[in-house]
């Protein structure tokens, strides 16, 4: 919804937490020959704003579930942070910052090494489209694994929704982005991995820069190694 309105030039993004939006006055002023009215555009903006708010409500319980999952998988040293709220620390473009990030220390017993791994999560509601995959994919430059996590609280028989989900699944499989579906952000038992993410061979200097600019508890990571 929100991205489509931006593409159609009906709204513009402004500065602020989470990416605030506003009516494109210039576009609205030249719509005399269009069927859509300013009131209709305002309703679309309200829907897009609700979408942003809905995503933000998912961040904290989702992060808590990822922490529990890491613990269940035996990851002793793990940090999970909500990186969507890092404000001015965003670097590298509009899609450079994931919503939630997990940083874990992995010990390789036989190689005698310690490896810091970064996993990113882009969280979307069920009305997203295939562009969400590309947003998650943009994080793979600085992460070992990247997920698109979609909130679907109830099963749906809607053909349009199913078609979008099938396309998203296919694109995730093609691009190497993991696809995670969850019905409740705070209930790990509702999390289903639809597509496993492909491991990325990333430039460690990029990973180091990402940790430096996006992770608040970076000193703990330094202590690990």
Q: Dihedral of CA 173/175/181/187: which sign?
A: positive
> Residue 213: which region, alpha, beta or left (left: phi > 0; alpha: psi -120 to 50)?
alpha
Could you give the domains of the chain? 2-51 (no CATH), 56-224 (3.40.1350)
In order along its 225 residues, the chain shows pLDDT tens digits of 555 555 555 555 555 555 555 545 445 555 555 555 666 655 555 555 555 567 889 999 999 999 999 988 877 799 999 998 765 444 444 556 899 999 999 888 888 888 889 999 999 998 899 999 999 999 988 999 999 999 998 777 778 888 999 999 999 999 999 999 999 999 999 999 999 999 998 888 988 999 998 899 888 988 887
**In which residue are the tokens 């009906």 written?**
10
Cα–Cα distance for residue pair 163/2, rounded to 1 Å = 20
């Amino acid at each position: 919804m929100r991205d489509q309105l931006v593409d159609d030039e009906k709204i513009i993004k402004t500065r602020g937490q989470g990416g605030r939006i506003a009516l494109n006055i210039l576009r609205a002023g030249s719509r005399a020959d269009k069927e859509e009215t300013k009131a209709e555009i305002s309703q679309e903006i309200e829907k897009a704003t609700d979408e942003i708010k809905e995503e933000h409500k998912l961040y904290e319980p989702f992060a808590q579930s990822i922490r529990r999952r890491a613990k269940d998988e035996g990851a002793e040293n793990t940090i999970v942070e909500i990186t969507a709220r890092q404000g001015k620390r965003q670097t590298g473009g509009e899609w450079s910052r994931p919503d939630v990030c997990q940083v874990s220390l992995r010990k390789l017993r036989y190689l005698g090494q310690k490896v810091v791994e970064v996993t990113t999560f882009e969280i979307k509601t069920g009305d997203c489209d295939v562009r969400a995959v590309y947003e998650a994919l943009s994080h793979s430059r600085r992460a070992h694994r990247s997920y698109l996590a979609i909130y679907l609280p109830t099963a749906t028989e809607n053909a349009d929704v199913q078609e979008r989900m099938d396309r998203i699944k296919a694109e995730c499989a093609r691009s190497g982005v993991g696809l995670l579906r969850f019905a409740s952000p705070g209930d790990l038992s509702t999390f289903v991995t639809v597509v496993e993410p492909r491991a990325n061979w990333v430039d460690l200097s990029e990973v180091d820069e990402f940790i430096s600019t996006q992770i608040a508890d970076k000193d703990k990571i330094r202590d690990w190694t």
